[in-house]
């Protein structure tokens, strides 16, 4: 008797079946078992947001979830946000607006921004600062992060408009 249980989790579109200990946190499962080290560990106590991933499309801090709780769920990490070889508009925004320095907070910041833009596609600077308050950055002073998210919002809205226009043109 190992005390482990079997879980099946789809991560970045790929299904994994693993034996995990009940106390294994999702962030360690992603990093140590699946070797997806883009998800960072800053505090392990739900303070910093470096470990943010999407669980069934909703942003969660992966140090607050047991791997066993993700059984049957879909997880998206920073590695799976964009098609291979490309950048998601949020990643592009952080690149274009210099929204990072050391980059430690960046994967979590980007995943939290994804949730923010899903809930509010055209956020004000104040809204961005408020919504990302669970993600700590020691380097940037946040100003360029706000600009990066605003850049992404514009890009995503332009893409949505383009899709609608093409859709209308096709019908
Ligand atoms: S490592 Fe999860 S919130 Fe800091
Ligand atoms: S860029 Fe260094 S912690 Fe945010």
Tens of pLDDT along 91-121?
A: 999 999 999 999 999 999 999 999 999 999 9
Write out the two tokens for 59.
């942003």
**Entry pTM:** 0.94
Q: How many Cβ atoms from other residues are within 10 Å of residue 71's Cβ?
A: 14
pLDDT of residue 165: 83
Write out the two tokens for 96.
């274009």
Q: Which of the ligands is closest to the CA of residue 105?
A: 2
- Please determine, for residue 1, whether its predicted confidence score (pLDDT) is greater than 60: no
Q: Are 117 and 156 in contact (CB under 8 A)?
A: yes
Provide the percentage of residues in the chain whose pLDDT is more than 90: 89
Note the pLDDT tens digit of each residue in 31-46: 999 999 999 999 999 9
Q: Specify the residue for token string 């706000």.
A: 146
- How far is residue 120's CA from residue 137's CA, in Å, rounded to a whole number? 22
Ligand 2 binding pocket includes 101 (Cβ within 6 Å): yes
Write out the two tokens for 94.
């952080």
Ligand 1 binding pocket includes 41 (Cβ within 6 Å): yes
* Closest C-alpha to 39, from 90, 107, 133: 107
Gap from CA of 23 to ligand 2 centroid (Å): 29
- How far is residue 61's CA from residue 38's CA, in Å, rounded to a whole number? 14
Gap from CA of 131 to ligand 2 centroid (Å): 17
State which ligand 1 atom lies nearest to the alpha carbon of 43.
4
| Helix (H) and strand (E) counts in the chain | 5, 5
pLDDT of residue 169: 57
Q: Are 144 and 98 in contact (CB under 8 A)?
A: yes
State which ligand 2 atom lies nearest to the alpha carbon of 102.
2
CA distances to 15, 26, 38, 80, 96 from 110, in Å: 23, 18, 11, 12, 14
């Amino acid at each position: 008797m190992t005390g482990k249980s079997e879980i099946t989790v789809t991560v970045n579109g790929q299904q994994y079946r693993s034996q995990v200990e009940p106390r294994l946190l999702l962030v360690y499962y992603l990093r140590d078992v699946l070797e997806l080290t883009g998800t960072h560990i800053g505090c392990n106590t739900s303070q910093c947001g470096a470990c943010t991933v999407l669980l069934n499309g909703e942003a969660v801090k992966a140090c607050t979830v047991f791997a066993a709780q993700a059984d049957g769920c879909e997880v998206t990490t920073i590695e799976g946000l964009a098609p291979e070889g490309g950048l998601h508009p949020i990643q592009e925004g952080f690149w274009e607006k210099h929204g990072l320095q050391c980059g430690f907070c960046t994967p979590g910041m980007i995943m939290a921004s994804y949730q923010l833009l899903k809930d509010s596609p055209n956020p004000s600077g104040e809204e961005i600062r408020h919504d990302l308050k669970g993600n700590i950055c020691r380097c940037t002073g946040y100003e360029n992060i706000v600009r990066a998210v605003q850049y992404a919002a514009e890009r995503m809205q332009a893409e949505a408009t383009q899709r609608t226009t093409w859709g209308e043109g096709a019908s």
